[in-house]
Amino acid sequence: MKSIKDKFPDIPDRISGLGELAYNLWWSWHPQARMLFKMLDRQAWKESVHNPVKMLKELPREILESAVKDSEYLNYYDGVMARFHEDITTKVCWFLENVIDSTCLPIAYFSAEYGLHRSLPFYAGGLGFLAGDYLKECSDLGVPVVAVGFMYPEGYLRQKIRVDGWQEDIDEVLDRDDAPIQRIFNEKGEQLIVRVPFIDPPIFVTVWKVAVGRVSLYLIDTDIDINDPWNRSIAYHLYIGDIEQRLRQEIVLGIGGSEVLNTLGIRHSVLHLNEGHCAFALLERIRGRIEEGMSFEKASEQVRATSVFTTHTPVPAGHDVFPFHLMDKYFSHYYPLLGLGRDDFLQLGTHPEYPAAGFNMTAFSLRMSYYHNGVSRRHGEVSRHMWQLLWPDKKEEDVPIDSITNGIHVPTWVEPKIELLFNKYLGPDWLKDHDNSVIWERIDDIPDEELWQIHYWLKMKLINFVREQARRRWLENRVSPFNIIASGTLIDPTALTIGFARRFASYKRTDLIFHDLGRLKKLLNHRWRPLQIIFAGKAHPSDDDGKRILQRIFNFTHDPEMGGRIAFVENYDEQLAQYMVHGVDLWLNNPVPPLEACGTSGMKASLNGVPHLSILDGWWIEGFNGKNGWAFSGGGDDQDADAIYTLLENEIVPLYYKVDDKGIPRDWVKVMKEAIKSIGPIFSARRMAKEYVQKFYKNALKSAM
Ligand SMILES: *Cc1c(COP(=O)(O)O)cnc(C)c1O
């Protein structure tokens, strides 16, 4: 077994804590900790793409030794390490002070994806970032969570756009030994291998641990030698299209994940499912109780009373449904273990309206858990409407699906320079109490010049990043000059810049702003008040519709009539998201309502003073207050596009370019400030995590006692 020390033989003892710190993502949301790595060698930090494990492994011994001779560095090191140890061991935390004053068994949190950091590509989009942000916040609040997910060695995909605008999906294999994840060993010091119970022929998994502050996330990996190739590939990619492999993926996550926790000796009190992909974990909880002698009724009652299910999907077609013949293939020897016959078992997952369609993971999750929620107020309504059938004797408004609106982890998404500005004007402790709206009133004390100057600096940073990416592709791949223009080299730092970055799912209508080309070109090419738009986003590898929309946009980027004012930046990931939500002037969002269950990127932008221009859907229905951005209600493509052009022409563009004699757009800055202070406290993961605890965990924990 290799300890952290063995992994970094070149780190001198005096600063050996760097190794421990590198393996805890705590560094990712503490700028001082990131600085500790950056100070060693700026270039190496950049080349590692901000991954301290990779950097420390590659750094020459001399650099580490010279750090030990630098008293300033050592001072800084001691400060950060003290704070780190204090944070991950302290017993003083919100959870223990406000919820339960003794230790309890942890809440097991299951999710198919986690968006935590650019060095861990285990996410596709919003669902993953929600889960990642949630774990970080649970660590901050001391909520005892243990999390389970998948290790996807090929991540999602690396996006490369061909000259003709078609997206190529390049698999990039993650070097597990270079990532901030640790192998789990058994007591003999060998890599732990767990067999997914009751599946024949057998599937084996191994396990990796990601330390997220005080929270441990266990990642299941099927890519090991003793599995045959079909089994090895179960977790190669997120959301496999092949239905049988998809079922096997969910069996491994739910049933295998439960077995992993058992094997590690981790008992849990409450189960929280982030979307239905992991719902088979409910079966294992029930089966375990039946094994101890309970009846199915009693066992399922107990499991219900201690299980939480968060649904994220606002359309019937978005839920996983598995055909019965596949359920038979994998579960026919499982039914008896629950004391159920085939029909009774399959009944647990049928949709009342389409009982023959198959085993519906959402219907199953709703039936077998007591606490359920949608992810915004609107999505709660949509979910109650969609699932009323499961509660035929209740009126729609009484259907027991609550809502808890998503929020973002503020320390992760606040840009460090903005954080310093808040330290200065909100007080150095603002972050400790950041879901308290009163603190944010002081945003008004920030001088306009100071906020505007930092914003401009962040915009330059984004533009430089975009240009560097373009330069690198030009050098390395010798792509066509078209692609270089397309990737944003003509972007002008003084022009009003819209950001639009999200998955290329059709309902997001990424190309809506091209609806009336004449009107758009007028806005783009205005002589004194030009507009420009930076796009980013990936289409799912099997989504040709999404790829066609992307291609359409890409072809506009190098249409000379667009004047080089449309850019498409490749490979949207967590890092690019950070640059974009900090550096553009306006964040645009125009999905087909009510399909954006919540949306979170607009929160990330608003927190950093980038106002949101959005259709009234998802969180924006709650977030928009008339002064903190712009809104329009949905009425189809024609009407929605018209609403966007009209707002841009009449309000947004004039406001942005109305500057005083110092060059400051005072009224625009007012909107920026209003966005920060109205959105920062409310749409935070802190407010969200407290709601999960107060509404659900508190009662579920009581039932678990
Ligand atoms: C925040 C985030 C998302 C989710 O944003 P939406 O507003 O839900 O589209 C997706 N991808 C990345 C990289 C993000 O940072």
Evaluate if residue 93 carries a pLDDT over 80.
yes
- Rounded to whole angstroms, the Cα distance separating 1 from 100 reads 37
Per-residue pLDDT reduced to its tens digit, 42-62? 999 999 999 999 999 999 999
The strand pairing partners of 159, in sequence order, are 169
How many whole angstroms from 683 Cα to the centroid of ligand 1?
14
**What are the φ and ψ backbone dihedral angles of 536, each rounded to 5 degrees?**
-155, 160
> Closest Cα to atom 4, ligand 1: which residue?
126
How many whole angstroms from 170 Cα to the centroid of ligand 1?
21
User: What type of residue sits at position 515?
Assistant: H
Please give the pLDDT value at position 236.
87
Please give the pLDDT value at position 241.
80
Using a CB cutoff of 8 Å and minimum separation of 24, what contacts does 331-339 make? Answer: 333/198, 333/200, 334/198, 334/283, 334/287, 337/198, 337/287, 337/290, 337/291, 338/283, 338/286, 338/287, 338/290, 338/296, 339/290, 339/295, 339/296
- Show the tokens assigned to 522: 């007028």
How many whole angstroms from 575 Cα to the centroid of ligand 1?
11
Q: Please answer whether residues 253 and 239 qualify as being in contact, where contact means their C-beta atoms are separated by less than 8 angstroms.
A: no
Burial of 663 (0-12, 13-18, 19+ CB in 10 A): exposed
Instruction: Evaluate: CB of 227 within 6 angstroms of ligand 1.
Output: no
Region 170-190 average pLDDT: 91
Confidence of residue 692 (pLDDT cuts 50, 70, 90): very high
Q: What is the enclosing helix (H) or strand (E) of 321?
A: strand 321-322
Average pLDDT, the chain: 95
- Rounded to whole angstroms, the Cα distance separating 149 from 249 reads 11
Q: How far is CA 646 from CA 513, 565, 641, 651, 677, in A?
A: 12, 19, 9, 8, 27
Evaluate if residue 155 carries a pLDDT over 70.
no
Residues 6 or more apart whose CB falls under 8 angstroms from that of 700 comprise 269, 270, 305, 306, 307, 308, 370, 371
* Ligand 1 mutation target, pool 122, 600, 679, 683, most atoms within 8 A of CB: 600
Per-residue pLDDT reduced to its tens digit, 587-601? 999 999 999 999 999
- Show the tokens assigned to 295: 């009846």
User: What type of residue sits at position 695?
Assistant: K
- Rounded to whole angstroms, the Cα distance separating 546 from 508 reads 10
> Closest Cα to atom 8, ligand 1: which residue?
599
Q: What is the CA radius of gyration of the chain?
A: 25
Q: What percent of the chain has pLDDT over 90?
A: 88
Q: Which domains does the chain possess?
A: 4-89 (no CATH), 106-406+689-704 (3.40.50.2000), 410-683 (3.40.50.2000)
How many whole angstroms from 125 Cα to the centroid of ligand 1?
5
How many whole angstroms from 165 Cα to the centroid of ligand 1?
22
Region 168-182 average pLDDT: 90
Q: Please answer whether residues 454 and 418 qualify as being in contact, where contact means their C-beta atoms are separated by less than 8 angstroms.
A: yes
- Tell me which residue of 512, 464, 461, 437 sits closest to 678, measured CA to CA: 437
Instruction: Evaluate: CB of 487 within 6 angstroms of ligand 1.
Output: no
Residue 611, preceding peptide bond in cis (omega within 30° of 0): no
Q: Sign of torsion, CA 574 612 498 501?
A: positive
Please give the pLDDT value at position 388.
96
Q: How far is CA 388 from CA 40, 353, 394, in A?
A: 58, 11, 7
Instruction: Evaluate: CB of 121 within 6 angstroms of ligand 1.
Output: no
Closest ligand 1 atom number to CA of residue 576: 13
- Tell me which residue of 145, 147, 148 sits closest to 104, measured CA to CA: 145
Closest ligand 1 atom number to CA of residue 572: 13
Instruction: Evaluate: CB of 488 within 6 angstroms of ligand 1.
Output: no
How many whole angstroms from 319 Cα to the centroid of ligand 1?
20
Instruction: Evaluate: CB of 406 within 6 angstroms of ligand 1.
Output: no
- Tell me which residue of 203, 254, 250 sits closest to 229, measured CA to CA: 203
How many whole angstroms from 176 Cα to the centroid of ligand 1?
24
Closest ligand 1 atom number to CA of residue 574: 13
